[in-house]
Chain A
């Protein structure tokens, strides 16, 4: 219990960021038209691909004889990149279709 409290104390700035970001996320999204629900979901999906940064750090810190970390990190980098790149490309394709429909 103490450990958790101390951890919070150590990272209190981050806790503030978390709380403010929660409200920001709610505010930013709250007035979105229904047609944009799916593209927005897809766009948000691409943004949480930011987890790739963690994968890069894991990969970059792994000692060159620690094969478990190397292999898992390598997989993580591939999967994270898939998430980011695929996410943004799919979103772009969805929105492309959407704008074509509108102009017709």
Chain B
């Protein structure tokens, strides 16, 4: 107990690396706030988005945040539905990452839509036929689930201890964790896939119009999401010099995500091979752009070899995975592979001419490089998430060092 108190006191030294890190994030956030001011006063004209490339960096950020947040539902499901209690502590980290990831996605969307003042229209005016309607509903509901899952961790904070009604409510909520895991699994199985479906149903763009999109999205999200949770846990343990999760749980989680990553690569292989078997107008051009054109270097390097195959090998082979450094590299690469995939999928959609049918030959093709405002807001969102995460992982009692905390009553 006295050790914990000392730990708390020590952390309030404002000249520690921790607070420099928080200060650095604060500066990035300030730059982003200036970009926010520009966006809100001048509109999306200050971005590099155009009529022909209407979606860009913020949509990639949104998709990446949700994909990397998939560890929350996956690890919760493994822990509470399959009853694998050794993942309980990892699930807690995953849920914390998850709620931050979904907050980031909501922030990205808030900036991306042309009318942020009408963000609530999605809940009031329904078009149940729209994939985005489904995504809106599911993300809202799942965000609520995540809030309930994180709530008991937050009320453990010392200064909230005296509100007994809050404590009692948190205990009741905590008892429902397995229920929340089931609801979260259901909602995630819907929206992680329908985010892929958002692209998959676009009949006019052959590069996207594939029934495999929803499946590829969810499978890659589970692999990337679990990997990202493992990666962040390892980073926190390394920098903070403490133990959040037992090594065995991390090894096992790495193995699961490696296996799922391999499954994803297999599915991706056949999707690409069968989908480009003959000449498909639009799709073949897009695949050429991806595999030997503009995106060839990043595609082969980050999405396929490093973020796909190497990550899968490092995670699957026990000798590699049980080396903490290789586990760190493997899980980090898998997460990067997921982001690269979302990046390529989004931008590839707009490299394909819309006019490949007989009469028109003028290519209506966009080109896109994100503007500084887009980068500034992207880094602001990431910094906000990193700041809350850093503070939370440092001060929330749920993330105390394993040696200090005995698993009581959970």
A and B physically associate? no
Interface positions of B (Cβ within 8 A of A)? none
Interface positions of A (Cβ within 8 A of B)? none
